[in-house]
C-alpha cells in the first residue's frame, strides 16, 4: 500500500496587533494631509505678505535709519493731489538695493506716486529731455505735468572732503532729494530769494547755490538802483559779500522793507577799500554797532589753522544753530567785523540774539587788511564781539547778519564739514518758514566700528570656533545615542 507523505501544517500565528498596520496607515495619511495643508497655508501667507506694502514688511534697525521714511516725507506725500512719476534710470541688474528699498516705500505711501524703470540700453535718449548732464546708473527723474527735476546719482550719495583726515565723508540724501523734488514739481510757488547787486558783490559759492536749489529756494537778482521799493514777491532779500557801500536811499528802502515785515540776510565783512557805513547803519536802531578793522582771536581754542583771523566762535542756542550744536559742528568765520550789542541802545524794542560770539581774548585790528602782526597793538579794540546776530521785530520783520563775506567759500565750508553752509541755509529756512521738504537732512554712511581688546578677541574666537561647535556636536551625539537605546529597548 502506497504511503503518501504527511504534510504537517503549523497553525497560523495570530497577529499580536491586528489593528496596528491600519492605524499606522491612517497616521501616515493624516501626517501627509496635515503637511499638505501647512504647506498650502505657508504658500498663501507668502503670497499675501508679498502683496503688502514695503513699509509693513521690512523694518529698519540701522543706526542712521537709512531704510526709513521720516514723518516730513509722509506729510508731503500724503498731501499730494496730483500724480507724480519717478523714473528710475538704471540698467538691468545694476539696481542699487538702498535706492530700490526707498522707491518701494515712496510707492507704498501714496497711490499718486508711480515708479517706472527706464533702462538706458533700451531708452538711450530718454534722460536727454530732462538734463544735459552725464547720466549714470541709479539716477532719477521726478515729473508731474510739465514740471520735472533730475536727481543724479551723486546727488543721492553725497561726498564731502574732510580736510583734517584727508578722507571723504559719505552720506545718503536719497529721501531729501526725492521729497524735495516732489515738493518742487507739484508746487509752482516756491520761496523767492532776491539777491542784491550793484556793489561789487561776490559770486555765490557753488556749494551754497546747490544747497539753495536742493531746498527749493528760487534765486533772483535785482538792484535797488532801478526800483522804488523791494519787490513784493521777495520772501527774503540777501546781501552777499559787497565790496562797496550802498547808498543812503538804498539803506532807507531796506529799512522800510524790514519794518514792513520783510526778511533780510546779510553776509558782509570788512572791505579792503573804504567802509560799509550805510549798510551797517541798518543795525544802529537795534543797539548793534560795527567795530573798525578785522577781528583777531587771542584764545587758541577759538581759531583754526593757526590763523587767528579764522574764528571758531561760540554758538548760542537758537532755531538756527541748535542742529549744529547737537551734532558738535563748529562754524569757521574768517576775516570778520566785530559787532558790539548794547541792550540800552536798542530803540526798536526788537529781540536781538548774539548767535556767534568770540572769546574775551579777542580784539579788532584797526589796520584791517594792512595788519602786519596778530599781536595786539596800541589802538586795537578790545572784545569780546558778536560775529553773527539775529533781529526779530515786533512787526514780523527779521534780520540775520553774519559779519564775514568769506565764510561761505567752498574751502572754509569744507573745513567746517559743511557747518557754514548749514548755518546760512538754516537762517533762510527759519525766516521764511521751513517746509517739511526742507527739513530732511542726509544720513551718514560712515560706519562706527566696535573696538575690543586682544584678550576679548581671543576669548570670542575660542568660544565661536571651539566651544560652541563641540557643544552642538556633543548634544547631537547624545540625542542619536538616546534614540538608538530607546529603539533597542522596544525591540
Q: What is the pLDDT of residue 51?
A: 56
Q: What is the number of other CB atoms lying within 10 angstroms of the CB of residue 171?
A: 18
Q: Is the dihedral of CA 116, 118, 122, 128 positive or negative?
A: positive
Give the rounded percent of residues in the chain with a pLDDT score beyond 90: 44
Mean pLDDT to the nearest integer, 298-326: 90
Q: Report pLDDT digits (tens) over 351-394.
A: 999 999 999 999 999 999 998 899 999 999 999 999 999 999 98
Q: What is the pLDDT of residue 144?
A: 93
Mean pLDDT to the nearest integer, 435-453: 49
Q: Which residues of 316-326 are buried (b: 16+ CB within 10 A; e: fewer)?
A: bebebbeebee
How far separated are the first and last CA of the chain, in Å rounded?
Answer: 51
Contact residues for 324 (Cβ-Cβ < 8 A; gap 6+): 315, 331, 419, 422, 423, 426
Question: Regarding predicted confidence, which is higher, 407 or 189?
Answer: 407
Would you state the cell numbers that stand for residue 150, as one nine-digit string?
A: 533730475
Instruction: Go through the chain and tell me how many residues it has.
Output: 491
181: Cα within 13 Å, side-chain hemisphere: 25
Q: Report pLDDT digits (tens) over 128-175.
A: 999 988 899 999 999 999 999 999 988 888 776 555 555 666 778 888
Least confident window among 237-241, 265-269, 410-414, 484-488: 484-488
Question: Regarding predicted confidence, which is higher, 42 or 383?
Answer: 383
Q: What is the pLDDT of residue 87?
A: 95
Amino acid at each position: 500500500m502506497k504511503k503518501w507523505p504527511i504534510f504537517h501544517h503549523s497553525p497560523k500565528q495570530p497577529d499580536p496587533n491586528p489593528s496596528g498596520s491600519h492605524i499606522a496607515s491612517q497616521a501616515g495619511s493624516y501626517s501627509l494631509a496635515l503637511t499638505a495643508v501647512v504647506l498650502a497655508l505657508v504658500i498663501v501667507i507668502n503670497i499675501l505678505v508679498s502683496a503688502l506694502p514695503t513699509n509693513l514688511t521690512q523694518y529698519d534697525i540701522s543706526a542712521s535709519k537709512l531704510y526709513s521714511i521720516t514723518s516730513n516725507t509722509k506729510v508731503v506725500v500724503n498731501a499730494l493731489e496730483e500724480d507724480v512719476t519717478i523714473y528710475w534710470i538704471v540698467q538691468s541688474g545694476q539696481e542699487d538695493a538702498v535706492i530700490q528699498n526707498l522707491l518701494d516705500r515712496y510707492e507704498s505711501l501714496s497711490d499718486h506716486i508711480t515708479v517706472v524703470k527706464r533702462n538706458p540700453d533700451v531708452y538711450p535718449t530718454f534722460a536727454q529731455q530732462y538734463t544735459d548732464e552725464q547720466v549714470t546708473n541709479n539716477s532719477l527723474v521726478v515729473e508731474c505735468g510739465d514740471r520735472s527735476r533730475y536727481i543724479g546719482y551723486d546727488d543721492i550719495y553725497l561726498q564731502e572732503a574732510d580736510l583734517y583726515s584727508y578722507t571723504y565723508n559719505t552720506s545718503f540724501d536719497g529721501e531729501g532729494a526725492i521729497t524735495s523734488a516732489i515738493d518742487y514739481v507739484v508746487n509752482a510757488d516756491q520761496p523767492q530769494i532776491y539777491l542784491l547787486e550793484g556793489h561789487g558783490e561776490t559770486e555765490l559759492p557753488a556749494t551754497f547755490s546747490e544747497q539753495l536749489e536742493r531746498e527749493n529756494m528760487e534765486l533772483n537778482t535785482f538792484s535797488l538802483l532801478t526800483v522804488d521799493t523791494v519787490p513784493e514777491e521777495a520772501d527774503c532779500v540777501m546781501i552777499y559779500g559787497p565790496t562797496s557801500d550802498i547808498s543812503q536811499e538804498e539803506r532807507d528802502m531796506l529799512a522800510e522793507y524790514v519794518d514792513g515785515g520783510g526778511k533780510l540776510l546779510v553776509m558782509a565783512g570788512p572791505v579792503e577799500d573804504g567802509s560799509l557805513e550805510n549798510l551797517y547803519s541798518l543795525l544802529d536802531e537795534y543797539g548793534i554797532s560795527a567795530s573798525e578793522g578785522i577781528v583777531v582771536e587771542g584764545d587758541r581754542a577759538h581759531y583754526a589753522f593757526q590763523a587767528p583771523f579764522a574764528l571758531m566762535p561760540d554758538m548760542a542756542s537758537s532755531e538756527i544753530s541748535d542742529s549744529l550744536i547737537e551734532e558738535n559742528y563748529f562754524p569757521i568765520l574768517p576775516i570778520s567785523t566785530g559787532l558790539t550789542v548794547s541792550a540800552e541802545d536798542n530803540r526798536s524794542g526788537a529781540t536781538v540774539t548774539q548767535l556767534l560770539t568770540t572769546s574775551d581774548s579777542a580784539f579788532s585790528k584797526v589796520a584791517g587788511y594792512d595788519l602786519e602782526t596778530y599781536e595786539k597793538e596800541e589802538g586795537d579794540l578790545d572784545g569780546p564781539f558778536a560775529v553773527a546776530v539775529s533781529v526779530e521785530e515786533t512787526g514780523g520783520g527779521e534780520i540775520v547778519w553774519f559779519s564775514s563775506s568769506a565764510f561761505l567759500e567752498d574751502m572754509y565750508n569744507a573745513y567746517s564739514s559743511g557747518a557754514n553752509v548749514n548755518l546760512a541755509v538754516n537762517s533762510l529756512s527759519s525766516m521764511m518758514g521751513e517746509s517739511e521738504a526742507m527739513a530732511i537732512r542726509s544720513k551718514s554712511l560712515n560706519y562706527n566700528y566696535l573696538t575690543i581688546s586682544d584678550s576679548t578677541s581671543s576669548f570670542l574666537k575660542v568660544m565661536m570656533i571651539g566651544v560652541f561647535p563641540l557643544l552642538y556636536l556633543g548634544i547631537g551625539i547624545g540625542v542619536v545615542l538616546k534614540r538608538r537605546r530607546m529603539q533597542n529597548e522596544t525591540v
